[in-house]
Each structure stands twice: as C-alpha cells, then as structure tokens.
Amino acid sequence: MTTIALHEMIPGFGPGVDGAYDRLDHDLLVRAYRYSDVAHAGQVRHSGEPYVSHCVEVARILADLQLDTTTVACGLLHDIVEDTDITVEDVAREFGPEIAQIVDGLTKIANLPLSSREERQVENYRKLLLSIAKDARVILIKLADRLHNMRTLDWLAPEKRRRVAQETRDLYAPLAHRFGMAKVRWELEDLAFKYLEPEAYKSLAKMVAAKRGEREALIAQMKEPLEKRLTDAGIADVEVTGRPKHLWSIYKKMQQRDRPYEDIYDLLAIRVIVPNVLECYHALGVIHDGWTPVQERIKDYIAQPKSNGYQSLHTTVFGPGRQLFEIQIRTRDMHRTADYGIAAHWLYKESAKSADELDKALAWFRQVLELQMDAETPGEFLEFLKLDLYQDEIFLFTPTGDVIQLPKGATPLDFAFAVHSQVGAHCAGAKVNGRIAPLSRELKNSETVEILTNPNAKPSRDWLAHVRTGKARHK
C-alpha cells in the first residue's frame, strides 16, 4: 500500500516528511483508524470537528517524529478506553497486549473515590509515571496528545484554556525537556506563553518579526566567513545555519536579566553540524582561532552530556561589528537526538547502543518514581515532581573524580544526599574546591565538593530552605 493510499484511507493523515510514513505497517494503521472511528462515532470536539480527527492528528505528530507503527497506532487509539465503551481487554483482543498496555497507560483513572480535583490529578500523574517506567512510548504519545490540544486551545473557554496552558508549562514542557525532545518542548512553551501572557506574547512576536531582516543579515555576515574558514581547515561536509530562538526563551531571558529585547545577544545563534566528534573539537579550535570567545560561555556537553542525552559544544564569540554570536557545534546524530530526544531511539531500537542510551535517559525518572512512592500528600508529590523537572543542570565532582549531576542552584546539601542518603543525614559541613563552604552556598559548574560527616550530626529543619532536589527535601 502506498502513502497516497494510506492518506485516502485515513483522512488528514500524510503525506509524510521525507517518506517518513513509508516504513510503517499501513494495514495495521488503517485497522486502528477504522476501530477508533467507529468507537468515537457521534463524538465531536469543541471546534465541531469529529473527535477522531484529533486522534489522526496525534498519530501524524508521532509519524513525523519517525516513531514505530505500534506507537503511531496507539496515537489513533489513545482516547478509546477513556472516552468510549471500549475496554482495555477489547483492545488486547483486537490489537494484542503491547498496544493494550500502552493505551491503558494513557487512560486516566475513572471513578476514584477522591475528595478533591488535586488528588484525582495527582493519582493520574502517578499512573502516567508508572506507565512510562513500563514503556517510555507512553510519554511520547502523551506529549503528542498535549501538543495537538495546545494547538487547538482557542476553542476552549478562557478559564479552561489558562488551566491547560499552566499545566503544560509546569509539567508537560519540562517532561519534554527531560526526555530530550527540544522541538516539542519549544512549541509547548510558546503556546503556553501565548495563552498565559497574551499581551507580552503579542508584543514580543511583533518585535521579533520587525527585527527579522536585520537579524538574518547579521547571521549571513557571520555565516559566510565561518563556513569558508571551516572548509579551508579541511572539515568536509560541514553545515552552517542560523538557529531560531523561540519566544518563551527570549522572554525569560529579558525577565531574568531585566533587559530590553534589543540587548538579548543570544538572539544571534548559529549551528555548525560536522561529520564526527573529532571534527566538533577541530571546528571549535578553528572558530576560537578566528573570533574572540567569551571565556565563561564555553560549554562542553559532548564530554559531559546532559541527563536527557543532549550533546553539543557551545561557545559565544565576538563576530562582525563586535556583535555576540552563540554557536553550537554537533554531529548529525547529536542533532537528531537534540530535536527528537528519546523518540530518536525508536529509529534504531534493535541496536544495543540505543537500548543502553534509553536506559540512561530513564535513570532520573526512576529516582522520581522512588520519591513519589514516599509522598504522603498530593501537594508533596507535585512538589517533588516539579523539583525534579528542573531545566538547567550543573556537573560537579567528588574528591575521587566521580561526576554528580544536579539542578542549577543546588547546594552542598543536595550534593550530600545525591552521594548517599546516609552521607546527607550525617552531613556536618562541606569543602568546595578545598575550602570550607556554608551548606547554603550555591554550587557552580565543575566544582569539586567534599562532604564532611559526623555520626552525631542530623538534619535540621533550616536545611529545607537550602535544598533544590526532591530527594534532599524528602530525606
């Protein structure tokens, strides 16, 4: 069956990006679509469209992420148990246990005897997290579902719009980030921004559009000499492109630095893609030889990848007219992982390397699950979850050279509990880079931290004011 036939059989589905749909099992997708269409018959969205059109859009987002047939089929079936009379057992009989388990993981818990909306919401989050631990494809479908709901938010009542946008900002965009899915995260953040701060969004969008020509001209001035230098240095197959900044990240920088739009120099961003890791470092040397770098803005995420698998070299240099340019250097594999995160692993899921990378990507997630088992109230669980979805992270060293990753703003107390619960519980002091430091001191990237313990020392209530990780706060 061709892509065109699939498009005819599933209205609104396709054609795919660069033949992305050709590798899918079209017969299974058509069967899933028909099953969903019959089950959702008579149901309409707030826009007036048949409900099944939403299921098709979710499946299309998943197909464009180049996911496997099972995941795309689950996109077509994702609301079937929650919103129709179909049961998980019916889905298992029709499509097998794998698809049934994923659809069950996406289904909110019905008829919970809970006293508040918050409790119900928390129990649904708990179920979602446990389902992700069993099969990470659950979060990919959940994010695709949320992305399409955010794209069509205009049809909801203003109060519900705000509630959905706030939940997206607090939970789903950070989850997309922690699973390394930058493209999905950026769109979710910008859409949440549009509905939560509509005036600021409109004003910034207007400024960005007005300056687009000027920005593109500056990037062109840097791009051409940069491309020439890299090629002259013998780096073959190099790709240099301007990199758009999304609105929410610009707005956050303006707020954090209390600076107008014109002063946010990270707006001029360039990406350099090279064939292999060796050429990444070669390119960095060529760039620093040709342009003066800003020392404190050189970051090596290749040697020390972020916990979501992100790898790149970052540097900021003075370009034409002393204008600052932020440059990212990476390989094509790193670029795909940066955009698609764990979704990229399903392209090559047969390989052992991919399975190992996926396991690493879920390591932080297992820590969240450990904590949420101990949470006593819905509020406590939500606090743990939000703490562990912190976006920026730093890399620290133990005196023996082991690397510990913590959220930006973490203190020696967070470090102590990250090493071991007992080290945290008996922490009596800390040395940072060989000098005694207060337990409340914010740690900086690449520092060496030594925790001083005493068997008689025990946690103090004051420590709660100085910890940033869910684990430290809970213990």
In three-state secondary structure terms, 451 is strand
pLDDT at 375: 63
pLDDT at 371: 60
Which residues contact residue 274 at a Cβ distance below 8 angstroms, ignoring those fewer than 6 apart? 230, 235, 237, 238, 239, 280, 282, 283, 329, 330, 331
Q: How far is CA 254 from CA 168, 264, 265, in A?
A: 21, 7, 11
Q: Which of 148-157, 315-324, 367-376 has the lowest mean pLDDT?
A: 367-376
Q: Which two tokens stand for residue 353?
A: 């390397």
83 annotated active-site? yes
In degrees and rounded to multiples of 5, residue 429 shows phi and psi of 175, 180
Euclidean distance between CA atoms 137 and 281, whole angstroms:
34
Within 10 angstroms of residue 341's Cβ, the number of other Cβ atoms is: 27
Start-end of H helices in 40-78: 52-64, 69-77
Mean pLDDT estimate for the chain: 84
Q: Which of 41-50, 184-193, 396-405 has the lowest mean pLDDT?
A: 396-405
Please, which pLDDT band fits residue 108 given cuts at 50, 70 and 90? Answer: confident
Residue 156 and residue 46 in contact, taking contact as beta carbons nearer than 8 Å: yes
Please, which pLDDT band fits residue 310 given cuts at 50, 70 and 90? Answer: confident
Residue 109 confidence (pLDDT) above 90: no
DSSP codes, 117-169: HHHHHHHHHHHHHHHHHH-THHHHHHHHHHHHHHHTGGGS-HHHHHHHHHHII
**What does the DSSP 8-state code read for residue 310?**
-
Residue 236 confidence (pLDDT) above 60: yes
Smallest Cα–Cα separation from 366: which of 263, 470, 262? Answer: 470
Q: Which two tokens stand for residue 402?
A: 């082991």
Within 10 angstroms of residue 7's Cβ, the number of other Cβ atoms is: 15
pLDDT at 2: 42
User: Exposed/middle/buried for 429, CB within 10 Å: 0-12, 13-18, 19+?
Assistant: middle
Give the side-chain half-sphere CA count within 13 A for 456.
0
Which residues contact residue 267 at a Cβ distance below 8 angstroms, ignoring those fewer than 6 apart? 215, 245, 250
The residue to which tokens 């703003």 are assigned: 409
Residue 261 and residue 204 in contact, taking contact as beta carbons nearer than 8 Å: yes
Residue 14 confidence (pLDDT) above 70: no
Q: How far is CA 221 from CA 270, 451, 473, in A?
A: 12, 50, 49
Q: Which of 19-28, 267-276, 356-365 has the lowest mean pLDDT?
A: 356-365
DSSP codes, 392-434: -EEEEE-TTS-EEEEETT--HHHHHHHH-HHHHHTEEEEEETT
Residue 239 confidence (pLDDT) above 90: yes
Within 10 angstroms of residue 363's Cβ, the number of other Cβ atoms is: 10
Euclidean distance between CA atoms 333 and 311, whole angstroms:
10
What is the mean pLDDT of the segment spanning 291-313?
89
Number of residues assigned to the chain: 475
Percent of the chain residues topping a pLDDT of 90: 43
- Measured at the alpha carbon of residue 104, what is the angle toward residues 98 and 105, in degrees to the nearest 5? 95
In degrees and rounded to multiples of 5, residue 452 shows phi and psi of -95, 125
The residue to which tokens 């080290």 are assigned: 423
Residue 54 confidence (pLDDT) above 90: yes
What is the mean pLDDT of the segment spanning 372-398?
66
Q: Which of 25, 49, 68, 83 is catalytic?
A: 83
Strand partners, 273: 239, 330
Q: What's the distance, Cα to Cα, between the start and end of the chain in Å?
A: 57
Amino acid identity, position 399: P
Percent of the chain residues topping a pLDDT of 70: 83
388 annotated active-site? no
Q: Which of 25, 68, 82, 197 is catalytic?
A: 82
Residue 10 confidence (pLDDT) above 80: no
Q: Which two tokens stand for residue 92?
A: 């298992």
In three-state secondary structure terms, 325 is strand
Strand partners, 347: none
In degrees and rounded to multiples of 5, residue 144 shows phi and psi of -65, -40
Q: Which residue pairs, CB below 8 angstroms and at least 24 apart, start in 430-434? A: none
What is the mean pLDDT of the segment spanning 415-432?
90
pLDDT at 358: 61
pLDDT at 293: 94
Q: What is the pLDDT of residues 244-282, one digit of tens each?
A: 778 998 898 888 778 887 776 566 889 999 999 999 999
Q: How far is CA 2 from CA 32, 69, 72, 131, in A?
A: 17, 15, 17, 34
pLDDT at 380: 66
Which residues contact residue 104 at a Cβ distance below 8 angstroms, ignoring those fewer than 6 apart? 81, 88, 91, 131
**What does the DSSP 8-state code read for residue 259?**
-
What is the mean pLDDT of the segment spanning 121-127?
73
